[in-house]
Structure 1
């Protein structure tokens, strides 16, 4: 993690839209301290390259949420598991609310709407290269905080003095069901389908659960409940 020799930030860009791919690369090209090592339109190709020592050496990966083969969320989840030191910056042409929870849960450092990349992407890249998250108003509105890179592994789970038997009393059955689904690797849409509600309701369950558990992020809350043997 961090900047390469000479202060260069080494990046990869993953986007299924060739025009967007070129646009993101152009934005990065305006940053003198950055160099794009490779770019691809396929999530599976990105994962292959991350595992190849000849093309790995990355500080930051920019990932579109809507790829043709596998989702950007799944790409980031696997990258975080296999290459824990890489900063992950998500981008989307859609409203970010639909991805926020999953983006934070899979270890992204921020999520940016494509219409804001010119003004926000440079800062996000510089922070991610240092392993730091960039919070957004949209995420904080849902009580979601993006984790720093170091916070994605071995997180400092705060139990706030709760005993294991206290937690189910503090979380409703729906909130516990929501957290169990996330712990099983479900996306927000999958959680909504499992519970028979919409994604907005799932966000509400999640936000209330995090507040009750005094957890800053979804991964922290899941780790806390797992530590207590409740998942």
Structure 2
């Protein structure tokens, strides 16, 4: 079930949040998040907090220190937040992950969805973060209306579904790296920048039908069902392999 939640009018879901793990690169922001969520849910509900993504991955891999839900910053000093989410999701199939960022949500939305998180929310609204936590703990995904309206192909999965997909996308423990042609890559790059099919064609000197043909080929190579998913997969590939 997908729950679209407006940041200005969030429906509160009546289910207890038990243990929260919080990761944020900025110590002051980490303190503010921890303080607010402790007020909302109780001091004992903050299981741990840290500034390092690799430390968070280590804590989540241990059943004794694994939180009920992980609140993960995307901008970290020691690692890429998206990659840490994917690493955790590859090994943990029952813990929801909620991405947070101070950047526009579109910057990370597609990539974190592909990495197996259950939603993304802006840091600027602490009340919304608390509501989003309750949402995903209750067995839903959190999709802000601003993303539902501007990124219609965006789709968040539940933890088990995301784990199975990511597990299937790996071979011998290594992510499979589809190879796109230069033309296919150029088209995906422009789509990722928000250009329309017409704009992509004008930039590359191609007809709209030709652009669509190349896009279908790229989607097939990436194993994507939609253009949005192809963009997300390509973004993950570039972050992982430095393409």
TM normalised by structure 2 equals 0.62
- The whole-number CA distance in structure 2 between the counterparts of 1:114 and 1:46 is 19
Q: What CA distance in whole angstroms lies between the structure 2 residues aligned with 1:74 and 1:154?
A: 17
Report how many residues are paired. 182
How far apart are residue 78 of structure 1 and its match? 0.9
Kept in 2, the 8 Å contact 1:12–1:38? The answer is: yes
The equivalent residue for 1:54 is: 64
1:45 aligned partner: 55
- Could you tell me how far 1:199 is from its partner in structure 2? 5.4
Matched position secondary structure for 1:147: coil
Q: Deviations over 1:126-157 (max 9, x none)?
A: 122133101112322113122222331446xx
**Residue 69 of structure 2 is aligned to residue 79 of structure 1:** no
CA contact (8 A) 2:116 2:163 kept: no
For structure 1, list consecutive stretches of 5 or more residues without a partner in the other structure: 1-5, 156-181, 187-191, 223-231
SS of 2:141's partner is coil
TM-score, with length taken from structure 1: 0.65
Please name the residue that 1:16 is paired with.
Answer: 25
2:136 equivalent to 1:128:
yes
Could you say if the C-alpha distance between residues 31 and 75 of structure 1 is closer, same or farther in structure 2, counting changes exceeding 3 Å?
same
Q: Tell me if the contact between 2:37 and 2:130 (Cα under 8 Å) persists in the aligned partners.
A: yes
Matched, 1:195 2:185: yes
Structure 2 CA distance for partners of 1:68 and 1:215, relative to 1, 3 Å: same
**Structure with bigger RCO (C-alpha 8 Å, 6+ apart):** 2
Q: Which residue of 2 aligns with 1:88?
A: 97
Q: What's the Cα RMSD here?
A: 3.8
Asked whether the 8 Å contact 1:131–1:149 carries over to 2, the reply is no
Match of 1:163 in 2: none
Deviation at 1:32, TM superposition (A): 2.8
Q: 1:218 aligns with which of 212, 215, 229?
A: 229
Call closer, same or farther: CA 1:12–1:199 in 2, change over 3 Å. farther
TM-aligned CA deviation for residue 17 of structure 1: 0.2
CA distance in 2, matches of 1:105, 1:206: 22
- Counterpart contact for 1:105–1:217, Cα < 8 Å: no
Which of 146, 155, 164 pairs up with 1:145? 155
Q: Distance in 2 between matches of 1:7 and 1:102?
A: 29
Q: CA offset at residue 119 of structure 1?
A: 2.5
